[in-house]
Amino acid sequence: MAIIDPRTGNPLSAQPTPNDDAPAASTTAHVSRDDVIIELDASNIQQVLQASMQVPVLLDCWAPWCQPCKNLMPILEKLALEYAGAFILAKLDIEANPEIGAQLGVRSVPDVKLISQGGLVDSFQGALPEKQIREWLGRYFPAPAEAAPSPEEQAESALQAGDTATARAIYQELMAQYPEHYAYQVAMARVLVAEGRGEDARGVLDNLPPEERDAAPARGVRASIEFAEQALSSEEIAALGERDDSEARYQRALRQVADGDYDAGLEGLLALMKSDRAYNEDAARKTLLQVFDALGADHPLTVAYRRKLFALMY
């Protein structure tokens, strides 16, 4: 079912491809909370459904006793204001309106439904993190041109800038809000590695469910811990100066891998294989394979460098 952009009158595709370049939402529209967020009940549900013929409605079904609902609602309200009228956020308390909840087929909360032209377009259940909600909305609406960075983006930017304290604080809050979203725990382990707290990072990873503990993201962090333990410190790398022997080249590549600069590290290891295959009992090739395992078989760098390794060997 096509969704109509109320600002342009043009249909928005519900089946975008990853390469779609959706136009950014206009930043000239300014809306108030009352313009885009309403409380839904028996007195106005028919009006809201009728309004969905012109403006898509994001229906948030929640309950006062539901903590995940309380975590989700501020995110939806923030996005409704940010999208500036691309959709209306209608909040339905199913405890106060059980008949409406039953009619809508709500079996658990939070339950978020996208309604357009009087019909259900899509839905999701549970308190998804903001990044995933943005991705979900992105299937149907052009992103706001000046969207505020998500908490995940803020944490990653802080980590890249070396501000591990900020990144750690953000992930701690996200972990508290979404305890079963294990990607945040893996990200926290990455922050701890960046702080030189390898054992603490191992403790976080060891507490993951087995399927998450053995998955590629966690393996990658665990490998970073091991590489960091094996690698020379940054000061020791600097002390190598202009040395270009095999040991110096290997240690530089290992430090790059430990720091998460996988592309440079893999390139260095591959170059060492070309120049000195026998170095330290084929250490460059063995380390390449460890990095591949850490990144996962489907990672683009794994695919690219496996191909290069195969070409070099055969």
Residues 6 or more apart from 177 whose CB is under 8 A from it? 71, 127, 129
Query: Are the C-beta atoms of residues 20 and 12 closer than 8 Å to each other?
Result: no
The beta-strand segments (E) located in 29-162 are 37-40, 57-62, 88-93, 111-116, 119-125
Coil, strand or helix: which one is 37?
strand
The question of whether 66 is a catalytic residue gets the answer yes
Annotated catalytic residue within 69, 106, 183, 291: 69
CA distance 171 to 153: 11
Amino acid at site 168: R
Annotated catalytic residue within 59, 66, 88, 295: 66
Joined together, the tokens standing for residue 304 give: 């690219």
CA distance 282 to 253: 14
CA distance 283 to 306: 16
Which sequence positions are flagged as catalytic? 66, 69
